[in-house]
């Protein structure tokens, strides 16, 4: 197992390098211009100077290598410096965003908490709702509960979040006035009152995203349970005289969870990617919103760095899913 | 809101409550929402309106434009003119006097050296300063004494108010930015996010592309202002939800640039929590007519002056296209309160507005048809007019934007009624306005017959703007498609007027010249104005003192804003 993990980890290095190059190449080929959104009153020759000052007059390969140096060498060294370990010249050039002229990694660090709170929480809530629904739907197949569950997951699946989000704002913020429609990222939770505010402002985005996540996972859970319920070992367990509760929760559930856990693990990188649209609708200034603003502004270093970090997470969580599979399912051995 | 700022605000209001009726910090907290988040607090490194507006709460220029387009001194003691001796007789230099006793928010004194530093900061070749155009022709900026700055130009400048007038070119502190010149400009994150300013507020916390928390500047020159102790400047989302947060839920006090469907805005306003404000600057949505042939068969020479347009070079056709348009409907559909019918490309400031072209205000399809008949354009079997084998078939391009696509559909139908066939095309704004040399879809290359967009100019002086339509401004492969003369209009009489304006200082004379240029463009139908577009903002009913300003930052007079009881 350890061998397998190390082998896979080593293999990810060329994969990620390749991915970073592809991202850079695509971004470079895309017709985006960091001066494109500036007012037309800024004349073209000034725009040309701005592009030069951003280093855009350099050939693509030079810019790519520069980014690699900044991201793979300077940023980790800078992180070490923050922990008190100084190596080399402390005046290193970090990955600087075109729009804000500040280090991209700092921007990401600033936004990570919002995304983890809102999108992460919605994932947890979604999973907690989805598992019982999936289990009950499978056990009581074609009952009214199953039909309801199917109906709700279809809604969660097919109605886009930009619609449910705005609908909820209109109902709960405009008509009822229960929740704020705009997320306050500067809120510091240090008392019961602020905790209440935090819960109120998180309620709507978490619910909207949880509905979406739950819809997907509950369908997986249900299908996996149904697969297992018809297996011979279930009949054996029942024939042994085990209680139905034990059969379902110990035997069937544990076996059914294996594929579901893979699905859940593979979904985790999406949490970090944020939910671009939902963050935009509720003005949660998280990673997804950072990405969309950077794309609109032609801020190539930010887009490149964010996309690459997402790629790293996807590769990592694929690996984690594979390893979990080996641990959970004794039939699967990698060595 | 952070506890610190709350306490600070409370302390400030307590201290001043007894001293004056309306003292600094009395109005408590102000919530502003900009649906495009501010990225940086330094307008020299980002010319985006959101960034300029955000920084205008902290950084101030020597003079502002007020809501009527008149200059009002801010850091300067008065506005220099030829009459008061501030502008030299030969128009090559301007001397500004600072108000005595001004302080930065850190308590140090504001001197002429800061102004000189700011000019050199922006004029540094390697810094990528986005306001460089404001410093055009400046050869030298020097401090004559602690309070006097002299700006010298390389040639006579009849309108020498480019540098340091308006929020785009504020004065920054020399000490704070000393190590941030030229190539090092982008690396000064701390200074760019938390500039020390002279304005009514100072930054407490800056979160890029997110939220700015500010509190009253205790060293602000007017001891009773600003009325608000603290400000939250929230960014992000979209125009509709920003409007909703002011007009429907009342969470915010002020929302900027609300370009949304007029009927939705009216519904929101009907809730009674806030008011919609509109102000009209020089922004005009217009059609540009391509006088050159964009046919791909010309290869590298398409849309260049080498090949005149097969039918748009006929003035009768251009005029008929303009006559067929119902501008009142366009205003109603696209802009509501935020738009007005105009027949000029230069509708404002008021003294420049010509009345010579007002006939365009009424749609005249019959007249357009008659004009085309007389010019020999006969309807073919498919209803499209033609002459000598040339069909009136137009490719009409614009950027992707719901209102613009509505306009395209309406105009296509009106043109169909006069026998003109139209093919519509829309291009992503970042590409269309992006100026990427390799893209065929930029508005400068203009590989289409008609294109639509809006444009305006900074400040109140139209000289540079009206100069856009000189012969030398025509974009072509030789000048890398740079240049603002999209119609490829070349008229020696027009060039003469431009040259004359560059040597005229008298404001009334300048207005006459600008009007004459506007009329020439309008009567040649090379630019077809559609809608005079306003700025739309919303304020809460309880927010007093807002004077929507199209010539400067929306927040130019935020020091005067207060909470109505």
Instruction: ipTM value, please give it.
Output: 0.77
Distance in angstroms (rounded) separating the CA atoms of residues A126 and B458? 51
Residue A3 touches chain B, beta carbons under 8 Å:
no
Contacts of A97 in chain B (CB under 8 A): 39, 208
Average pLDDT over residues B248-275: 89
Tokens 């887009």 belong to which residue?
A: A303
Mean pLDDT of B520-529: 95
Residue with tokens 């109120």: A200
Q: What is the mean pLDDT of residues B478-506?
A: 89
Q: Is the pLDDT of residue B80 over 70?
A: yes
Residue with the two structure tokens 């500036």: A38
% of residues, chain B, pLDDT over 70: 96
Strand ranges, E, within B378-511: 378-379, 385-387, 390-391, 393-399, 421-427, 450-455
pLDDT of B15 reads 43
State both tokens at B42.
Answer: 């330094």
Two tokens, residue B564:
């109505």
d(CA B565, CA B272): 17
Q: What is the pLDDT of residue B11?
A: 46
CB contacts < 8 A (A, B):
174
Number of H helices, E strands in chain B: 15, 21
Contact by Cβ (8 Å): A321, A266: yes
CA B490 to chain centroid, in Å, comes to: 26
Task: Name residues 54-83 of chain A within 8 A of B (Cβ).
Answer: 54
CA triple B387-B392-B396, angle to 5 deg: 160
Q: Does B250 touch chain A (CB under 8 A)?
A: no
In a domain, residue B523? The reply is yes
Q: Which two tokens stand for residue B381?
A: 């079997």
Query: B92 lies in a domain?
Result: no
**Residue B420 domain-assigned?**
no
pLDDT of residue B13: 46
- Using the Cβ of A290 and the Cβ atoms of chain B, whether some distance falls under 8 Å is answered with yes
pLDDT higher than 70, residue B1: no
Domains and CATH numbers, chain A: 20-94 (no CATH), 107-328 (1.10.3720.10)
Sort B398 into a burial class: Cβ within 10 Å, 0-12 / 13-18 / 19+.
buried
Distance of residue B276 Cα from the nearest chain A Cα, in angstroms: 18
State the SS3 of A92-150. CCCCECCCCCCEHHHHHHHHHHHHHHHHHHHHHHHHHHHHHHHHHHHHCCCCHHHHHHH
- Asked if the Cβ–Cβ distance from A182 to B252 is below 8 Å, we say yes
Residues A185, A114: contact at Cβ < 8 Å?
A: yes
Report CB contact under 8 Å: A174, B241.
no
Contact B238 A44 (CB under 8 A): no
b/e burial code for range B421-457 (CB count within 10 A of at least 16 → b): bbeeebbebbbbbbbbeeeebbbbbbbbbbbbbbbbb
Print burial letters for A284-309: b (CB count within 10 Å at least 16), e (below 16).
bbbbbbbbbbbbebbbbbbbbbbbbb
Q: Which long-range contacts (CB under 8 A, 24 or more apart) does B433-438 make?
A: B433/A36, B433/A37, B433/A40, B433/B399, B434/A31, B434/A32, B434/A33, B434/A35, B434/A36, B434/A298, B435/A33, B435/A35, B435/A36, B435/A44, B435/A47, B435/B481, B435/B482, B436/A31, B436/A33, B437/B480, B437/B481, B438/A31
Q: Where are the alpha helices (DSSP H) in B72-221?
A: 112-123, 174-177, 189-193
Q: Which residues does chain A have with pLDDT short of 70?
A: 88-91, 274, 334-335
B30: which 2 tokens? 């102000």
**Over the Cα atoms of chain B, what is R_g?**
25
Quick check: B541 and B526 in contact, CB under 8 A? no
B1 to chain A, closest Cα gap in Å: 6
Q: Give the distance, in angstroms, between the CA of residue A211 and the centroid of all CA atoms in the same chain.
A: 16
Tally the domains of chain B. 1
- Asked, for residue B404, whether it belongs to a domain, the answer is no
Q: Is the pLDDT of residue B5 over 80?
A: no
What residues 162-201 of chain B have any CB closer than 8 A to a CB of chain A? 183, 185-189, 192-193
Question: Residue B462 domain-assigned?
Answer: yes
Selected for mutation to probe chain A from B430, B464, B485 (highest A CB count within 10 Å) is B430
Quick check: is B480 in a domain?
A: yes
Name the B residues in 215-244 with CB < 8 Å from any A CB.
232, 234-238, 241, 244
Asked if the structure places residue B163 within a domain, the reply is no
Per-residue confidence at B18, pLDDT binned at 50, 70, 90?
very low
- The pLDDT of residue B56 is 94
Contact assignment for A182 to B127 by CB distance below 8 Å: no
Contact assignment for B207 to A296 by CB distance below 8 Å: no
Q: What is the pLDDT of residue B102?
A: 93
- Asked whether A115 and A124 are in contact (CB, 8 A), the reply is no
Structural domain span for residue B297: 281-382+454-534
| CA of A85 vs chain B CAs: smallest distance (Å) | 22
Q: What is the CATH number of the domain that holds B475?
A: 3.10.105.10
Residue B491 lies in a domain: yes
For residue range B402-438, list pLDDT tens digits in order.
889 999 999 999 999 999 999 999 998 777 887 677 7
Q: Which of B237, B282, B479 to mutate to test the interface with A (most CBs of A within 10 A)?
A: B237
Segment B504-518 mean pLDDT: 90
Contact B113, B59 (CB under 8 A): no
Q: Which residues pair with B418 in a beta bridge?
A: none
């Amino acid at each position: 197992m350890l061998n397998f993990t190390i082998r896979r980890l080593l293999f990810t290095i060329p994969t990620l390098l390749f991915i970073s190059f592809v991202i850079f190449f695509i971004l470079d080929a895309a017709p985006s211009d960091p001066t494109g959104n500036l007012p037309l009153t800024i004349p073209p020759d000034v725009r040309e100077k701005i592009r030069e000052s951003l280093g855009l007059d350099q050939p693509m390969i030079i810019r790519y290598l520069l980014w690699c140096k900044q991201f793979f060498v300077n940023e980790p060294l800078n992180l070490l410096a923050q922990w008190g370990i100084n190596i080399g010249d402390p005046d290193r050039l970090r990955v600087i965003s075109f729009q804000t002229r500040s280090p991209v990694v700092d921007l990401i660090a600033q936004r990570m908490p919002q995304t983890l709170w809102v999108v992460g929480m919605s994932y947890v809530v979604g999973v907690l709702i989805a598992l019982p629904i999936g289990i009950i739907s499978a056990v009581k197949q074609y009952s009214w509960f199953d039909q309801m569950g199917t109906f709700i997951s279809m809604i969660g699946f097919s109605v886009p979040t930009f619609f449910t989000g705005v609908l909820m704002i209109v109902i709960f913020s405009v008509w009822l006035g229960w929740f704020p429609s705009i997320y306050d990222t500067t809120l510091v939770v240090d008392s019961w009152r602020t905790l209440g505010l935090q819960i109120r402002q998180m309620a709507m985005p978490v619910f909207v995203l949880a509905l979406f996540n739950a819809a997907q996972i509950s369908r997986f859970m249900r299908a996996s349970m149904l697969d297992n319920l018809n297996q011979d070992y279930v009949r054996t367990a029942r024939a042994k005289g085990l209680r139905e509760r034990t059969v379902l929760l110990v035997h069937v559930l544990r076996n059914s969870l294996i594929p579901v856990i893979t699905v859940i693990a593979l979904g985790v990188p999406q949490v970090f990617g944020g939910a671009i649209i939902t963050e935009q609708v509720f003005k949660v200034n998280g990673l997804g919103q950072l990405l969309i603003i950077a794309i609109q502004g032609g801020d190539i270093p930010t887009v490149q760095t964010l996309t690459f970090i997402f790629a790293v997470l996807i590769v990592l969580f694929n690996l984690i899913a594979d390893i979990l599979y080996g641990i959970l399912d004794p039939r699967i051995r990698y060595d | 809101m952070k506890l610190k700022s709350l306490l600070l605000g409370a302390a400030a209001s307590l201290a001043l409550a007894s001293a004056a009726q309306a003292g600094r910090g009395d109005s408590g907290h102000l919530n502003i929402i900009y649906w495009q988040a501010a990225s940086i607090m330094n307008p020299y490194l980002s010319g985006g309106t959101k960034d300029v507006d955000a920084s205008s709460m902290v950084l101030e220029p020597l003079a502002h434009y007020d809501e009527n387009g008149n200059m009002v001194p801010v850091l300067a003691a008065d506005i220099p003119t030829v009459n008061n001796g501030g502008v030299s007789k030969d128009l090559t230099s301007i001397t500004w006097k600072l108000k005595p006793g001004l302080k930065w928010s850190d308590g140090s004194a504001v001197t002429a050296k800061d102004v000189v530093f700011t000019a050199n900061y922006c004029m540094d070749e390697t810094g990528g300063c986005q306001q460089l155009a404001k410093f055009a022709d400046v050869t030298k900026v020097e401090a004559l004494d602690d309070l006097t700055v002299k700006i010298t130009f390389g040639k006579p400048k009849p309108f020498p108010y480019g540098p340091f007038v308006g929020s785009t070119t504020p004065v920054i502190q020399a000490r704070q930015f000393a190590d941030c010149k030229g190539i090092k400009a982008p690396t000064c994150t701390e200074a760019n996010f938390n500039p020390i300013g002279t304005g009514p507020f100072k930054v407490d916390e800056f979160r890029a592309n997110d939220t700015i928390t500010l509190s009253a500047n205790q060293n602000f020159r007017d001891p009773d202002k600003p009325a608000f102790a603290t400000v939250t400047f929230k960014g992000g989302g979209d125009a509709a939800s920003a409007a909703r947060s002011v007009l429907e839920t009342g969470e915010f006090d002020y929302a900027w640039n609300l370009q949304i469907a007029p009927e939705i805005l009216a519904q929101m306003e009907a809730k009674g929590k806030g008011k919609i404000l509109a102000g009209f600057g020089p922004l005009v949505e217009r059609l540009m007519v391509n006088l050159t042939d964009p046919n791909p068969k010309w290869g590298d020479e398409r849309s260049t002056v080498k090949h005149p347009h097969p039918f748009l070079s006929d003035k009768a056709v251009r005029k008929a296209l303009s006559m067929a348009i119902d501008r009142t409907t366009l205003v109603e559909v696209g802009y509501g309160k935020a738009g007005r019918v105009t027949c000029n490309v230069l509708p404002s400031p008021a003294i420049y507005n010509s009345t010579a072209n007002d006939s365009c205000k009424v749609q005249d399809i019959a007249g357009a048809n008659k004009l085309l008949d007389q010019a020999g354009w006969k309807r073919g079997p498919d209803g499209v007019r033609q002459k000598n084998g040339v069909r009136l078939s137009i490719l009409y391009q614009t950027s992707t934007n719901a209102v613009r696509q509505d306009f395209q559909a309406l105009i296509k139908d009106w043109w169909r009624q006069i026998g003109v066939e139209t093919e519509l095309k829309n291009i992503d704004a970042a590409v269309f306005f992006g100026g990427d040399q390799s893209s065929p879809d930029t508005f400068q290359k203009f590989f289409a017959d008609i294109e639509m967009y809006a444009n305006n100019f900074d400040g109140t002086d139209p000289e540079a703007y009206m100069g856009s339509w000189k012969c030398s401004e025509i974009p072509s492969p030789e000048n890398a498609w740079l240049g603002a003369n999209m119609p490829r209009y070349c008229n020696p009489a027009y060039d003469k007027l431009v040259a004359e304006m560059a040597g005229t200082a008298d404001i009334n004379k300048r207005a006459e010249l600008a009007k004459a240029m506007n009329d020439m463009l309008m009567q040649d139908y090379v630019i077809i104005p559609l809608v005079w577009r306003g700025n739309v903002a919303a304020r809460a009913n309880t927010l007093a003192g807002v004077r929507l300003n199209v010539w400067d930052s929306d927040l130019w007079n935020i020091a005067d804003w207060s909470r109505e009881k």
